[in-house]
Amino acid sequence: MQVQWYPGHMTKAMRSMKEDIKLVDLCIELLDARVPISSRNPDINALAQNKFRLIILNKADLADPKTTEEWVSYFKNQGITAVALDARKNQSVSKVLSTVNEVCKEKMERDKRRGLLERPVKAIVAGIPNVGKSTFINSLSGKATAKTGNKPGVTKGNQWIRLNKKIDLLDTPGVLWPKFEDEKVGLNLSFIGSINDDVIEKTELAYEFVKMAQKSGLLPVLSERYGIEAAEEDDPNDLIRSIAIKRNCIKKGNEPDIDKASSMIIEDYRNGRFGAISLERP
């Protein structure tokens, strides 16, 4: 199943980011902790090569903790500091401020030598749609300074936010890249809600999710959640039908409502109702 989504406004947003990144010292890149590779825009990574770097593995509460620790080590081995957190919790993001100081220590010492004692760190907050950039900024600032929403495309334009005397943040719209070379990337981004749900059929997405669960050993999680008998050799469509019946997703004519059951499966995953599950490992 091929998934591609690159609406025109993202081209404009990326063009703007190319100019804005020249103005900043630090690139704070938000990734989804469940799929750090799939949710990492290679264009943003390329733009930030000559900047101080900080990766936020957001939604860590939805990912397997041990796997997330492996990802933190993975990025450390690449020379990039990574912090795992749940941006909805203020106490979770409080450690980010001290981490910014550590990452930008060289810049601060350089400013001090030049006598620029009050110059704040200018940081751009970047990432793909629906990884929680605005929620992260609001938790960091302690107030609702950026619009949030559990869907892609809430942030429409760039916005500078004075965090404190030491840090200025630039909130940017979520941007993807023009073509996913790996089919799994498009699927993973669809599973976590970074692809607009209007461009993909939920029934197809649920089919792919169940098929992925069969291949990756996650089938027992679905069986326990929905109380169904499930095996790796079963047709995913039959399993979704069983889930629909078990959860009383029934439409007129006493037929299983596959659309409703499919939406339920995807929303259950997105909201962590299957437990903390990572879909990628280093």
Cα–Cα distance measured from residue 102 to residue 97, given in angstroms and rounded to the nearest whole number: 9
pLDDT > 70: percent of the chain = 94
Q: Mean pLDDT over all residues of the chain?
A: 90
Task: Give phi and psi for 104, each to the nearest 5.
Answer: -100, 20
Predicted confidence (pLDDT) at residue 89 exceeds the cutoff of 60: yes
pLDDT digits (tens, 9 = 90+) for 22-55: 999 999 999 999 999 999 999 999 999 999 999 9
What is the rounded average pLDDT of the residues 158-164?
81
Confidence of residue 92 (pLDDT cuts 50, 70, 90): low
Q: What's residue 161's pLDDT? A: 87
248-270 mean pLDDT: 95
Q: What is the pLDDT of residue 157?
A: 54
For the chain, the distance separating the N- and C-terminal CA atoms, rounded to the nearest angstrom, is 24
Mean pLDDT of 60-81: 97
Query: For position 275, what pLDDT does the model report?
Result: 94
Rounded Cα gap, residues 140 and 257, in angstroms:
42
156/160: higher pLDDT: 160
pTM for the model: 0.90
Would the pLDDT of 5 be above 90? no
Instruction: Give the pLDDT mean for 89-96.
Output: 76
pLDDT over 60 (residue 148) = no
* Mean local confidence (pLDDT), 107-121: 82
Q: From CA 88, how far away is CA 28, in angstroms rounded?
A: 17
pLDDT at 2 over 60: yes
pLDDT for res 143: 65
pLDDT band at 269 (very low <50, low <70, confident <90, very high): very high
**Residue 198 in this model has a pLDDT that exceeds 80:** yes
User: Which residues are CB-neighbours of 2 under 8 A, at least 6 positions away?
Assistant: 183, 186
Decide if pLDDT at 153 tops 60.
no
- The one-letter amino acid code at 156 reads K
